[in-house]
Structure 1
């Protein structure tokens, strides 16, 4: 009788453990595709340290992409050629469908304070910071690994097509360290 009780308790414990593991590590129902449900995003957040781009509409995350940055991503952009992606608040100020990369959304860098800081140091602050896809010379769905841009934010071509559809001129872009 005692043995039967131990077996039942053991089976119950195994079942509970299995259920807990399944809930923690089993397949997840994918979240709804909110990017397909909205026609615009009003904010883009770039988190350099997490290598993540998050686009939102009215505070709700619509999409999230992994990113590549400038080849020397730590720190704020100071000068032309430093390989850094700038930090701070920006606006999308131009769209280029004929870019050397698969579509591109230009940011208003350098801002007045960037120009003043660079002038004081006697250096060129750089320019042409974009969110863009992969180089047009790559075939199809290839994505360059690592941080490879000159200071831009790069995503896959498919992701760029989605972002391109959702972003208007004037969209706020925050780039955090």
Structure 2
């Protein structure tokens, strides 16, 4: 019995280490390069493209006011137009997040002409953390693009900074 005890601890420790590795939010990806991201707001569909075609698609949620192009800080809209993936946040309030280069020069100029701020910090991110109520709606963000936590892990692993993203109405 005493000889089995260290072996049991060793086996249980190995199983625990294996399972904790499976729980990591940081995934690896060794497939084809994502060359472009497309978002179709009206279809609530995010598409990751490679050189040979579509690699993945995901259903999404949008800003709480999903119609129209984001113009001002606090309007609840998701931008439309051509941007790039420009940053990532491993410590996001929303599991993980991948940044979009909104606002661009045109967005800034339009908002300034109206005497307002264009806003910013637009991301593709996971679901809300405990304590953040999405009001049980699909479109609940302040203008970001939401996917499930598992899906944002894929996007975070697959999409590199500098990848173009086209956002269509």
Q: TM-score, normalised by structure 2?
A: 0.77
Measured after TM superposition, the shift of residue 58 of structure 1 is 1.0
Structure with higher helix content: 1
Aligned-residue offset at 1:66: 0.3
Q: Which residue of 2 aligns with 1:128?
A: 121
Is structure 2 residue 156 aligned with structure 1 residue 160? no
Larger radius of gyration: 1
Q: 1:146 deviation in Å?
A: 1.2
Which structure 1 residue ranges, 4+ long, deviate > 3 Å from structure 2?
none
Q: Which runs of 5+ in 2 are unaligned?
A: 1-28
| Cα distance in 1, alignment partners of residues 40 and 30 from structure 2 | 24
Shift of 1:150: 0.2
Residue 54 (structure 2) aligns with: 61
Structure 1 Cα separation of the partners of residues 84 and 125 of structure 2: 15
Q: What's the CA shift string for 1:58-85, capped at 9, x where partnerless?
A: 1510000000000001000010110000
User: TM-score by structure 1 length?
Assistant: 0.74
Alpha-carbon distance, 1:37 to partner: 6.6
Q: CA RMSD in A?
A: 1.7
Unaligned runs of 5+ in 1: 1-35, 139-143
